Chains A and B, each alone.
Chain A
Amino acid sequence: MSDARVIETHQLTKRFGQFAAVEALDLNVRAQQITGFLGRNGAGKSTTIKMLLGMTHPTSGTGTLLGRSIDDAKENREARRDIAYVGEDKQLYAYFTVEELIRFTRSFYADWRPEVAKRLLADYELPPKRKVRALSKGMRTKLALLLALSRKPELLILDEPSEGLDPVAIEELLQRLVGAASEGTTIFFSSHQIAEVERIADRVCILDHGTLVEDFSLDELRKDYRRVTLGFATNAPADEFRMPGIRRVRRADRQLSVLVRGNADAVAAQGRSMNAVSVDVVPISLREVFLESVRSESDLHP
């Protein structure tokens, strides 16, 4: 795997009036990896992707896509030659038939693979002569994926790619994404389906309120992330629990739950020194890290 970056942003910000959709985002996506982009609805994932592709202009900050500036129209256009994109809407030109849209799309890209397009058309059971407006939501999603996966781009950007697909189609999609990555394509995809991300991603970026709150590889998750649960005989101490590596502390009556990265033993030792009667250190799943990262106190205690 290469350590080169295909996406880099520095302090990238997008404001709509007073509302900051993306705030000072420093994002790095490594080449030839699958990077999952997680966040709640409205976290700023789609706005970030739109800024990367030149659809939305950043309010401030900079970024590069395949080494080319995202806010320079000409450079961004050059970068888009090597990028396949599936947007969150999956809406396509309703007046085209399936085969017309395929012909339209392939005319823009030198990396189009007709044999792959033909195979996907058959696999997805898309009727070539049918108008796009007559396709179901799931079929439209499949067509959007066909248009992206029939190419061999350097970078594949997918915004909620499995939305509208049935479980079988999702499984096939995940396998195709892994296959594309093994051929050298970098994949950057946003999703609400944490299980999907956990299955195929090498790396995960979590966005919350427009800010990057976590960026780690799944190897790092397995190796470094732990939940340390401290039980106390009386109410848990109210003092701030400040130590290197602590990501989040939750207090509930006689218990402290600490999400920690890379310093679990020291946190456990600190718990014992605070007279904790029980200390549990357990591995943590991506789902738990995600929920801990994006949940506010009001979500936990409505």
Chain B
Amino acid sequence: MMLWYKAWRESRVRFLVSAVALAIVCAGFVFFHRDVSGGISDEPLSYPMYIWRITYQGYLRELFMILAILLGLGGLARERDRRTAGFTLALPVSRWRLLATRTMVGFGQVVLLATIPAIVLPLLSPLIGQAYPSSQAWAFAILWATVGSLIFAMSLLASVLFAGEFTAPVAAILGLTAYSFLADVRPLERYLTDIHDVMSGFDMPYFEERTGVLTGPLPWATVFTLFFAAAALIVIGAWITNRQDF
């Protein structure tokens, strides 16, 4: 139980700041709808289209991805840097359990972050005389939680490999950028899922570009594949951690 508490205490500031930042940005996009809407399109946009363009396809998505990277940082390599790894590793606990606890807490935090737009957008929209369907918001939350888990796992793997305060996040961002680039290269695009598009629905069969609304059933095969990929990265991280010297 105390390992969960330790994992929470290590990440709670990052998580709470991230949650507040996401909520504020969401609220800002709702309350400044008229001002922002004019800035992103010359033509009048429907409210669901505006929300999609500014959040699920726009800045909020990029912010969420960065926050998922931040939540993945830490772990034993970082503890070695801070010289607390000896204390942790002397506990009668396996390295696998240490990593698993941190992973579960991190996944939980990423999922909670993904739900923030789903809570804030439908809740605040009526205050400006608009409506955003909860069903849409929660469907996007599932897609964000899926991709967020994968990004978290990439970041966690980077923090297993690199101890430095800046090295791990830079490596995670580079890895994510490289993946996104490769997913757009024509011979590879059929094999690699573009995670930006999974999050926004853009160019996906379950999304209607004209209205900015998710229409068909969610891509469960893609969701499970991405979760499986995230789990695979965690297992690789655990395998490396077990072989590291501290």
Interface residues of A, Cβ cutoff 8 Å to B: 50, 53-57, 73-74, 77-78, 80-81, 83, 85, 87-89, 91-96, 103-104, 107-109, 144
B221 at the interface (CB under 8 A from A): no
B242 at the interface (CB under 8 A from A): yes
- Bound-state CA distance A87–B84 (Å) is 9
- Bound-state CA distance A144–B87 (Å) is 9
Contacts of A89 in B (CB 8 A): 83-84, 86
25 residue pairs A–B, Cβ–Cβ below 8 Å? A50-B245, A53-B89, A53-B90, A55-B85, A55-B245, A55-B246, A73-B242, A77-B94, A80-B90, A83-B90, A85-B90, A87-B86, A87-B87, A89-B84, A89-B86, A91-B87, A93-B6, A93-B9, A94-B84, A96-B9, A103-B2, A104-B2, A108-B2, A108-B91, A144-B87
Contacts of A55 in B (CB 8 A): 85-86, 89-90, 245-246
Interface residues of B, Cβ cutoff 8 Å to A: 1-2, 5-6, 9-10, 82-87, 89-95, 242-243, 245-246
Chain A nearest Cβ from B112, distance in angstroms: 20
Question: How many A-B contacts at CB < 8 Å in the complex?
Answer: 67
The reply to whether A54 and B84 form a contact with Cβ atoms under 8 Å apart is no
A interface SS class: loop
The reply to whether A93 and B84 form a contact with Cβ atoms under 8 Å apart is yes
- Bound-state CA distance A88–B93 (Å) is 20
- Bound-state CA distance A91–B245 (Å) is 18
Q: Residue A57 contacts which of B1, B92, B245 (CB distance < 8 angstroms)?
A: B245
Contacts of B83 in A (CB 8 A): 89, 91
Contacts of B245 in A (CB 8 A): 50, 55-57
Contacts of B10 in A (CB 8 A): 93, 95
- Bound-state CA distance A124–B89 (Å) is 25
